[in-house]
């Protein structure tokens, strides 16, 4: 079967250019490599941690699934599924929570960030507004990974701690019950894959600075025009390295296009023109994806069937692990 590479996409919000360059395209390229079996899933149960809006949860799953397929993911080459269609994952989450030290979860970044906010606001109950979902988030993530005994987990830097926790939890289980789990490695996406958003900070839903992938042409131009630049006039040489427009351009351009643009910066290109050039390039790259997306989004039946087929494959793999896990803990048939 080769190496198992697994990654999840939380289904909250709509995918943006940062997701495209940092996650979607690299995962699709990696899934085509020989000797790799890819597991890609919509982490829809994870989305309940952040959102309690049923319509948003539902639509986001649908839009994200359509986005991956529109950008070229071939569902026959990978195992592409919804987390919620694989009940073995939830079952494993409980079993893992019974070997997970609470103290380990106390140290999770997402939980600590929530208690810090309470601390800074002088709230006496540091756990105010913290749900068990948020607290248990790393256990669910460990279950996502360990249900398939994945070898590698490509994630952003912010998720590295969760993979370390997954290893801790797996090692603890193996120590108590015998070797069932493989300890997975995180594969951290390179800095080069991180795009700035329109305000220059990392493009992220939480900063509200994203450029969605599937804007129409007009809205895309409008978003690109909003990118923050300094106030240097046309004719004054500009530094590409500190410029958001240039960083975005670089993510889509060829080496020769990048070099040409550097020369234009040295010559003092005006911001309006630089943004127009960026727009033309991004538009050229995403137009075929947008066309495909608008076809797929109309085909609810096709999307549903694709994900159901994916979940059949996923359940085959996960049920093998779960059988070993249940046997190991002593939950099994009397005969």
CB of 74 to ligand TRP, least distance (A): 20
- Residue whose C-beta lies closest to ligand TRP: 8
Enumerate residues 6+ apart whose C-beta is below 8 A from 265.
Answer: 237, 238, 239, 240, 243, 246, 274
C-beta of 115: minimal distance to ligand TRP in Å?
19
1 to each of 146, 180, 288, 307, 331, how far by Cα in Å? Answer: 16, 18, 33, 21, 29
**Using the rule CB under 6 A, is 8 a contact of ligand TRP?**
yes
- Pick between residue 110 and residue 180 the one whose CB is nearest to ligand TRP: 110
| 46 binds ligand TRP, rule: CB under 6 A | yes
3-class secondary structure, 5 = strand
- What is the smallest separation between the CB atom of 82 and ligand TRP, expressed in angstroms? 12
Cβ closest to ligand TRP, residue 159 vs residue 306: 159
Pick the piece of the chain touching ligand TRP (CB under 6 A) from 6-14, 128-136, 194-202, 260-268: 6-14
Q: Is 10 in the site for ligand TRP (CB under 6 A)?
A: yes
CA distances from 47 to 44, 147, 252 (A): 5, 19, 30
From candidates 7, 67, 311, 321, binder to ligand TRP by CB under 6 A: 7
- Least distance between ligand TRP and beta carbon 44 (Å): 10
Q: Which two tokens stand for residue 41?
A: 């899933």
In this complex, which beta carbon is closest to ligand TRP, that of residue 22 or of residue 240? Answer: 22
The Cα 22–Cα 146 span in angstroms is: 24
Number of H helices, E strands in the chain: 14, 5
Show contacts with ligand TRP in window 14-43 (CB under 6 A).
43
Q: How far is the CB of 224 from ligand TRP (least distance, A)?
A: 26
State which residue, 49 or 261, has the beta carbon closest to ligand TRP.
Answer: 49
Q: By CB under 6 A, is residue 79 in contact with ligand TRP?
A: no
Whether residue 261 contacts residue 277, with contact meaning beta carbons closer than 8 Å, is answered with: yes
The answer to whether 102 and 83 are in contact (CB under 8 A) is no
Residues from 143 through 162 that contact ligand TRP (CB under 6 A): 144-145, 153, 155, 159
What are phi and psi for residue 214, nearest 5 degrees? -105, 40
Please, which residue, 119 or 207, has the CB nearer to ligand TRP? 207
First to last CA, the chain: 32
Q: How many C-beta atoms lie closer than 10 Å to residue 193's C-beta?
A: 15
Contacts to ligand TRP by CB under 6 A: 6-8, 10, 43, 46, 141, 144-145, 153, 155, 159
């Amino acid at each position: 079967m080769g190496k198992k590479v697994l990654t999840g996409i939380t289904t909250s919000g709509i995918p943006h250019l940062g997701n495209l360059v940092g996650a979607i395209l690299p995962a699709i390229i990696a899934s085509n490599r020989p000797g790799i079996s890819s597991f890609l899933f919509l982490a829809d149960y994870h989305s309940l941690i952040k959102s309690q809006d049923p319509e948003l949860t539902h639509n986001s799953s649908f839009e994200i699934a359509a986005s991956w397929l529109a950008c070229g993911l071939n569902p026959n080459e990978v195992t592409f599924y919804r987390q919620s269609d694989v009940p073995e994952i939830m079952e494993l989450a409980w079993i893992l929570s019974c070997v997970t030290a609470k103290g380990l979860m106390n140290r999770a970044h997402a939980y600590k960030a929530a208690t810090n906010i309470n601390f800074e606001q002088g709230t006496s109950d540091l756990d105010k507004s913290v749900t068990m979902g948020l607290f248990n988030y790393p256990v669910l993530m460990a279950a996502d990974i360990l249900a398939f005994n994945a070898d590698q987990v490509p994630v952003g830097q912010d998720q590295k701690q969760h993979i370390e926790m997954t290893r801790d939890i797996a090692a603890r289980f193996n120590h108590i019950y015998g070797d069932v789990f493989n300890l997975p490695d995180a594969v951290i996406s390179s800095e080069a894959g991180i795009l700035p958003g329109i305000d220059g900070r990392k493009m992220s839903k939480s900063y509200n600075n994203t450029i969605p992938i599937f804007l129409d042409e007009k809205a895309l131009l409008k978003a690109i025009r909003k990118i923050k630049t300094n106030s240097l006039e046309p004719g004054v040489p500009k530094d590409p390295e500190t410029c958001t427009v240039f960083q975005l351009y670089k993510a889509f351009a060829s080496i020769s296009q990048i070099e040409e643009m550097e020369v234009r910066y040295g010559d003092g290109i005006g911001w309006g023109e630089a943004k127009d050039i960026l727009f033309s390039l991004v538009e050229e790259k995403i137009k075929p994806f947008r066309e495909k997306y608008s076809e797929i989004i109309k085909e609810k039946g096709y999307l549903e069937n694709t994900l159901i087929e994916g979940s059949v494959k996923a359940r085959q793999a996960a049920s093998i692990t779960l059988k070993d896990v249940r046997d190991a803990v002593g939950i099994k048939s009397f005969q």
